[in-house]
Amino acid sequence: MISLDDVERARATIAGRVHRTPTFSSHALGASLKAELFQKTGSFKVRGVLNRMAALTPEERERGVVTWSAGNHAQAVAWAAAHDGVDALVVMWQGANPLKIDAARGYGAAVDLEAGGPAEAHERLLGIVEETGRVFVHPFDDPYMVAGHGTLALEILEDVPDVETVVVPVGGGGLISGVVLGLAGRAHVVAVEPEGAATLARALEAGHSVPVQPQTIADGLAAPFAGELPIELCRGVVESVLVTDDEIAAAMRFLYTRAKLACEPAGAAGAAAILSGKLSPDGVVVVVVSGGNAAPQQAAAILAER
């Protein structure tokens, strides 16, 4: 099992290679916002990816890396691999966010779009790993990834030392499990998921990972299952809240107009939990806003309430 010490080591490993993103208060929301959408590649993902890449052996670097992602993790792997001189292949799927596909290619990765959806893409990735020997950089079920993501929590504690609750959007569980580690019991943690992609909530109820068919506008949270390591770290210590796509869209408009944060739907999930009344911002609350990679057409439609 990993611990706070691993998060501290990750912070030293990635120091100078990531932005220290700001945390600022929103009176209208009744909470502070950790603006992780300003992170390199537009999301928290680079924190864990850089930590994972640093752990590769010289032989693994020669083999190259491969990952599977809706887009934000894909971009982070592509960017980090390019900076480290490692060949990268990203398995995405038909219908994935074109902005994220183009960004992954722009950072230098090859992109595979043969799969029809997230679950099929995961199966395709496993076949590629077996055939090519590439190293799988998992989006969320990896201790180096989780420890790297936990560095976000260390920054929250420094910026808001009296924080009582941290609200985190959840896909596969890598970020929230890192936040749990980094906070080390100093604040309550709330996991917010779309109703159509409640992977962690269902897994915590079942006691193990449960496959789902994600249906949500928040593609950054559309994982087909939660990781076993995140489930283990979150069991018994996180509160789960589910929000609708309409509530996510309303929160995205709120963050754009009131907080001036141009986030993607995934980044608005935490605010959606508060704005919908499903979570009361009692005490000192920090909401993580991560994901600034909305497709322009989708963002325009949501902001115009179309």
* pLDDT > 90: percent of the chain: 91
Domain 47-136 belongs to what architecture?
A: 3-Layer(aba) Sandwich (3.40)
In residues, how long is the chain? 306
Q: Report pLDDT for 1.
A: 80
Q: Are strands 23-26 and 31-35 parallel, antiparallel or unpaired?
A: antiparallel
Q: What is the pLDDT, as a whole number, of residue 98? A: 86
Residue 194 has φ and ψ, to the nearest 5°, of -65, 145
Cα separations in angstroms, 286 against 72, 82, 294: 22, 33, 22
Is the pLDDT confidence value at 244 over 90? yes
Q: Where are the domains of the chain?
A: 4-45+143-303, 47-136
Measured distance CA(133)–CA(130) in Å, rounded = 6
pLDDT (0 to 100) of residue 233: 97
Counting Cα atoms < 13 Å in the Cβ hemisphere of 214 gives 28
Whole-number pLDDT of residue 306: 72
Tokens 């976000």 correspond to what residue? Answer: 152
What CA–CA distance (Å, rounded) separates 163 from 287? 11
Tokens of 200: 């962690």
Q: Do domains 4-45+143-303 and 47-136 have the same CATH topology?
A: yes
How far apart CA 78 and CA 137 sit, in angstroms, is 11
Average pLDDT, the chain: 95
Position 235 pLDDT exceeds 80:
yes
In single-letter form, the type of residue at position 200 comes to L
Distance between CA 217 and CA 303 in Å, rounded? 13
- Tokens matching residue 260: 């001036």
Tokens 């600034």 map to which residue?
292
pLDDT of 20 reads 97
Would you identify the CATH topology of the domain 4-45+143-303? Answer: Rossmann fold (3.40.50)
pLDDT digits (tens, 9 = 90+) for 110-140: 999 999 988 899 999 999 999 999 999 999 9
Torsion of CA 235, 240, 242, 248, to 10 degrees: -110
How high is the pLDDT of residue 45?
A: 97
